[in-house]
Amino acid sequence: MFLSAWCTALGMVLRKWQSKTMNNKEMTIIILYIGAAGALLFSLFNKEGLPLHHWNLNLLFVVILAGVMNTIITYLINYGFERVDAVIGSNLITLQSLFAIIVGFLVYGEIPLFKELMGGIIITVSVIQMNRLGKNT
């Protein structure tokens, strides 16, 4: 998970290096193709193999929905980091853990623990304060 978070942060910061030669849609498609190839290679390297059996309509629906959501996420990250400083943008991205708590409660009925609620409050307060400080400078 740490490596995933590090690579995600690096990808967001590297967005600033991308030129205006391509628009956000084109960059999103290229990034998703590179990501798909990387996921396939990592899967084969770890001897996980291809999921050729036990497919049904529910699984297919979830895979398609996940692909659509990943495409939207990638596009919005490209769009957002084109317009916002990397520090402010990455600060706003930390809210995803708070949203995960909310979605986990609404969708799966998972009751957040006290430490998770406190962590969500701390993250929210820090995001608000950093944005206030950013406006003042």
Checking if the pLDDT of 14 tops 80, the result is no
Q: Structurally, how many domains does the chain consist of?
A: 2
Question: pTM of the full predicted structure?
Answer: 0.70
The CA-to-CA distance between both ends of the chain, in Å, stands at 34
Give residue-wise pLDDT tens across range 121-134.
Answer: 998 898 888 878 76
- pLDDT class of 61 with cuts at 50, 70, 90: very high
**Residue 77, Cα to own-chain centre: how many angstroms?**
8
Give residue-wise pLDDT tens across range 78-115.
Answer: 888 888 877 777 778 888 888 888 999 999 999 999 99
Asked if 74 and 31 touch (Cβ cutoff 8 Å), the reply is: yes
- C-alpha to C-alpha distances, 121 to 80, 94, 113, nearest whole angstrom: 24, 12, 13
**57-83 and 2-14 are packed helices; what angle lies between their axes, rounded to 10 degrees?**
50
My answer on whether 80 and 117 are in the same domain is no
My answer on whether 68 and 121 are in the same domain is no
Range of the domain at 60: 8-85
My answer on whether 41 and 66 are in the same domain is yes
Question: Quick check: is 2 in a domain?
Answer: no
